[in-house]
Structure 1
Amino acid sequence: MLEREPGGIIAIHDDPPVLHDGLPRRYLAIIAEAAERLLAADDPAAMVDELFATICDELKLDVFFNYRLDGDRLVLEAHGGVSPHHAAGAAVVELGQPICGVAARDRCKLHVTAIQSSPDPALDFAKDVGLDAFACTPLIYGGRLLGTLAFARRWAGRFKTDELSLIHIVCSYVAIAKHRLRVEADMRNALERQERLLHELNHRVRNALQLAISIVGMEFGVPDVDTPLAAKRRAVARLEAMATAHRPLYATDRLGQVDVEALVRGVAEQTVGHDVAVLVDGIHSLSVERGVALALAIHAVLLGNGDLEMIRVGLRTMDGVTRLAVGFSAPSLAGDDRSEMEVPRSIGLLLRQLHAAIDRDRSGVTIHFINET
């Protein structure tokens, strides 16, 4: 223990507090009760309120301040024994600001004595609150600073050594409990996010299955000179395109969104059987439902076009509206801009349902989505 001057701030540098035979038996009972309460706590602020109620009579405490580290400052999380006016004045403490900010910055336990008679201006706030003895402990777990916890008296100018030991021991338990609550909160958040993700994926997959049923149904419902085997093969190829559209969904943090570049590359390579040059202007994403429509449209456009040269993904302004557009350059796709693009009935119906269209001009074929930018 290093005392800088008679009265004033005393900085205590020692090892983590441990139980020892010199503590009064009643202190050991208080420590056991405090540990039991802290292990069962589920709210950080209420936890410290209960701890204060447990030890305040024995130690004749009047005030406590519990701060949580928030970036490079301390935020008051719980308090007791002070007026709303004083609590508001101590709501935020910068690191290095007396008294708790110094304890947090230096990661050092502080015992401040004889506050009312001290001329130190750093103690003006404590003096205004009417405090005379102040014990502040940084809450540290695994080398990580979590905040500070301080207890104070108005009636006596200092704490005894055994009283400080009791305070430091219960504060070490508070640090453990706060770490546990933080870990549990992180786990709950992760589980909730995973649950939302699984729910979203379930919803998207259910939609995809409904689309698959519609596509296959239309494939077999249209009079066709092809054999049933050929129709089955076309249905399988389109289902594979839909599956390719869903793969980027699992590689993004945006629920229900797929990366357009990954989708275009995947479907194009799956359809033509080799790597395809894809030029992307900016970063674009689509809802997975529209991604499926785009995958099916790409599949329909590229089917049998092995001379594909380039796919361009970007924004296109048409009739004053900016739309996401996917263009295909291939000799077999280029044609008169007045000619009509032949699209299989099943794909045409799906594109109209999702407000998508296919255009062809002298440069090739372009798919654009009216309501996606």
Structure 2
Amino acid sequence: MTDLRPRPDLWSLDPEVLHLNHGSYGAVPRRTQELLARLRAETEANPMLWFRSVAERLTTSRQELAAFLGTDPAGFAFVPNASAGVTAALGAIPIPPGSRIVLTNHTYGAVLFAAERFARAHQAEVVVVDVPLEADDDTVVAAIQAELDERTAALIVDQISSATAMVFPIRRLVEACAGIPVIVDGAHAPALLDAPAEDGADFWTGNFHKWPAAPRPTAGLVVAEKWRAATLPLIVSWSEYDERLPERFDMQGTLDYAPWIAAPESLRVLAELDWPVRRTQLSALIDEGAQVLAKALGTDLPDVAHPAATMRLVELPFGGKASPEAGEAFKARVSRELKAEITLTGFDERVFVRLSAHAYNGLRDYELLAERLPTLL
């Protein structure tokens, strides 16, 4: 493996715990935490002055985050998370009665719920396309394209699936849709893919609180020019009639805007870590760590054609599909008894640990999990 020096010193994570699930809630570097604390102190020192300054600060932050994505800042708006971005996108497109919202069996649960809500409200149908875990790009495109027809109101597709850490061929899917609106759930894409919002989708949304390590809740929604006038924030507030997309989403009442303003500081931390090089090193690390764990469990790694740079699945030796309640209980037990934070995911009646790697991780983290986890099975 490429020589990699972990940098836990840049974070305030408990050193007694194995932090192996960055992909869920992220972790904010110390520097960004300190800036966030200063901004919140400034808020409380003079709330009136603070809120007068928010709009300009949000504009500056938005432009930095849009540049990080390589996208047009006029089409980039702040949202709390990718699920909110998908919800806003569904609210912008026409969904006639009898139409179909197409997604895949890799879709994040909350995004599926959003599609179901809009389908119920518009007397439409949700169609779930079965995409095998080991599918290559040709298989993915063929399976989805087979379900697209004149009744399709939208395709919702993961860029990197949360459930399976699989990268989808977005550009090819956009081309296959031939005018059907495409909503890309890029929750995990920022910092894992270069220019993730450049593939021509009508809507793209992604989280900055995951791999860019920005404060929660920070995410972005990128909207193609044709949809900007119709795309509205989830909260009706004083910016309702602003003709500019980003500004329309900025001021959502008396929210805590400090995380959005502080987010670029985390991007500077990544830059100082030489993130493109670090990401390549982390990809090698997570490959090795996953193999170590799989060997200890006596299981295999699924042959995902295009895995995410810093997440891998390791199958658990469980038979059948684990219930959500059983999964939560198992994760709580791992946390309590093994001092390790992991997440589980299920797919096709198989149960996996979804491992993550970020700059604070080293191979010893995965070796310790491999030593400890079999004791609970």
Could you state the TM-score of these two structures normalised by the residue count of structure 2? 0.22
Q: Which has the higher strand share?
A: 1
Instruction: Say which structure, 1 or 2, has more relative contact order (CA 8 Å, 6+ apart).
Output: 2
Give the structure with higher Rg (CA): 1
